[in-house]
């Protein structure tokens, strides 16, 4: 009995640690906003902006009555994070100067290659009248940045709505692990187009696309060729396929990001010919930091694609299409069904049979987890 109970407890305790940050991205200012709830009454926030002198966020829908957190560069490489309040459209003041209190906890700042990342923690509800209550739900958030400390941001500002979802569990069960491997798919008859995607981690997307082109096949994010972040696969004479990171700024052949002064941000690229179609796979960060890469958002996204049977060049009017794809729509694979014995009969031989069956199921589960982990490497 004790052996059986020990096996059951060990088996049920099988879990995988997970990153419990929630993330919101917006292309204006390459804004990244992360949050989690370390306790029931507090929130931890991390945000990134391009400001070399100031990076600010505010809880509110405008500069009027906005509860703000502002990081300012000190000029010696260090930064100061302050608790501010904006009464109207003017330079915000610290809560302390208004007669309130400084309620930020454990604040830090890092600035790397022009991107400033601020992390802080505070209570959802403080006792300071200059702190707005942070609710678990949809909130208004403003953000701004500048290259000089606490200065007018000009056009470097934006207002967004964010759904502050409850924090994820710090432990991921098998069903949650399977959900993290959820995949989405989209098909269009034009060009035999098929697109599949998944999110192997919180900040990455994995994409596979198939297009009926024997010479080359391109996939792009954008509303048209005037401004499109593209991935283009070109079939080589030796049977190999080259897959590279491109950008299109006009109705002319796109150029590689590296040629334009950017970076190649594609990971784990592969491509092959499957009959008369090119099949291409790659991974990349949702937000790369390259000016020639658009942030990829988990929402309805404008996707363009084009192809050709000869050398890479103009696709013509018939070998091109624009579609809308909802990248938030992913489906998890079915969870592994595990039947545990509900009672231990008096017959010890039957108990041993149950234990043996349970161990076999656990072994199969471990194999599944190992295979899934290997796919992520």
The residue ranking higher by pLDDT, 172 or 357, is 357
Q: Which residues, 6 or more positions from 105, have their beta carbon under 8 angstroms from its beta carbon?
A: 42, 120, 121, 122
Which pLDDT does position 336 carry in this prediction?
A: 44
Which of 4-8, 39-43, 82-86, 293-297 comes out lowest in average pLDDT? 4-8
Question: What does the alpha-carbon distance between residue 330 and residue 180 come to, in Å, rounded to a whole number?
Answer: 10
Q: Which residues, 6 or more positions from 305, have their beta carbon under 8 angstroms from its beta carbon?
A: 191, 193, 209, 211, 217, 218, 219, 220, 320, 321, 323
Which pLDDT does position 207 carry in this prediction?
A: 95
In the chain, helix, strand, coil percent, each to 5? 15, 45, 45
Which pLDDT does position 344 carry in this prediction?
A: 44
Which DSSP category does 309 fall into? S
Q: In what order do the strands lie in the sheet with 320-326?
A: 255-256, 241-248, 228-235, 216-222, 300-308, 320-326
Q: What is the mean pLDDT of the chain?
A: 82
Q: Give per-residue burial for 338-356: e unless 16+ CB within 10 Å, then b.
A: eeeeeeeeeeeeebeebbe
What number of H helices and E strands is found in the chain? 3, 24
Give just the sign of the alpha carbon dihedral 47, 48, 53, 55: negative
Question: What does the alpha-carbon distance between residue 373 and residue 367 come to, in Å, rounded to a whole number?
Answer: 10
**Residue 17: is its pLDDT beyond 50?**
no
The residue ranking higher by pLDDT, 231 or 4, is 231
Task: Give per-residue pLDDT as tens, 60-73.
Answer: 888 889 999 999 99
**Residue 223: is its pLDDT beyond 60?**
yes
Which pLDDT does position 355 carry in this prediction?
A: 58
Question: What does the alpha-carbon distance between residue 180 and residue 25 come to, in Å, rounded to a whole number?
Answer: 19
| pLDDT above 70 coverage of the chain, percent | 79
Which pLDDT does position 243 carry in this prediction?
A: 93
Which of 5-9, 154-158, 187-191 comes out lowest in average pLDDT? 5-9
Mean per-residue pLDDT for 302-322?
Answer: 86
pLDDT category, 84, cuts 50, 70, 90? very high
Mean per-residue pLDDT for 145-150?
Answer: 90
**Residue 185: is its pLDDT beyond 90?**
yes
Which of 122-136, 252-266, 344-358 comes out lowest in average pLDDT? 344-358
Cβ-contact 211, 191 below 8 angstroms? yes
The residue ranking higher by pLDDT, 46 or 8, is 46
pLDDT category, 333, cuts 50, 70, 90? low
Which DSSP category does 244 fall into? E
**Residue 170: is its pLDDT beyond 70?**
no
Angle at 112 between CA 110 and CA 114, to 5 degrees: 115
CA dist 246 to 32, 144, 210, 253, 314, Å? 23, 29, 18, 10, 15
Token code pair at residue 324: 């809308």
Which pLDDT does position 165 carry in this prediction?
A: 76
Question: What does the alpha-carbon distance between residue 43 and residue 135 come to, in Å, rounded to a whole number?
Answer: 10
pTM of the model: 0.46
Q: Which residues, 6 or more positions from 176, have their beta carbon under 8 angstroms from its beta carbon?
A: 18, 169
């Amino acid at each position: 009995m004790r052996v059986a109970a020990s096996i059951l407890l060990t088996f049920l305790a099988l879990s995988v640690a997970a990153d419990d940050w929630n993330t919101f991205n917006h292309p204006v200012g390459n804004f990244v906003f992360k949050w989690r709830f370390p306790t029931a009454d507090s929130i931890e926030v991390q945000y990134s902006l391009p400001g070399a002198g100031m990076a600010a966020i505010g809880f509110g829908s405008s500069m009027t009555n906005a509860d703000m957190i502002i990081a300012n560069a000190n000029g010696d490489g260090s930064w100061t994070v302050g608790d501010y309040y904006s009464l109207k459209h003017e330079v915000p003041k610290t809560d302390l100067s208004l007669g309130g209190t400084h309620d930020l906890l454990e604040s830090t700042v890092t600035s790397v290659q022009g991107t400033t990342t601020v992390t802080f923690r505070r209570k959802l509800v403080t006792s300071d009248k200059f702190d707005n209550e942070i609710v678990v739900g949809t909130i208004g958030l403003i953000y701004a940045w500048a290259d000089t400390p606490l200065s007018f941001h000009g056009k470097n500002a934006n207002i967004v709505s964010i759904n502050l979802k409850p924090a994820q569990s710090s432990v991921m069960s098998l069903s949650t692990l399977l959900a993290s491997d959820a995949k989405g798919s989209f098909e269009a008859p034009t060009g035999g187009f098929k697109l599949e995607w998944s999110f192997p981690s919180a900040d990455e997307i994995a994409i596979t696309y198939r297009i009926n082109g024997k010479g080359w096949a391109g996939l792009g994010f954008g509303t048209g060729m005037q401004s499109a972040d593209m991935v283009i696969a070109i079939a080589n004479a030796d049977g190999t396929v080259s897959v590279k990171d491109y950008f299109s700024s006009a109705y002319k052949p796109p150029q590689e990001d590296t040629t334009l002064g950017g970076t190649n941000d594609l990971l784990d690229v592969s491509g092959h010919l499957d009959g008369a179609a090119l099949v291409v796979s790659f991974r990349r960060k949702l937000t790369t930091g390259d000016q020639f890469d658009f942030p990829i958002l988990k929402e309805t996204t404008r996707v363009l694609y084009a192809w050709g049977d000869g050398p890479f060049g103009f696709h013509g009017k018939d070998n091109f299409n624009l579609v809308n794809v909802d990248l938030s729509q992913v489906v998890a694979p079915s969870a592994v069904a595990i039947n545990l014995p509900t009672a231990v009969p008096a017959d010890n031989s039957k108990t041993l049979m149950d234990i043996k069956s349970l161990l076999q199921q656990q072994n199969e589960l471990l194999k599944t987890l190992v295979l899934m982990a290997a796919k992520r490497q």
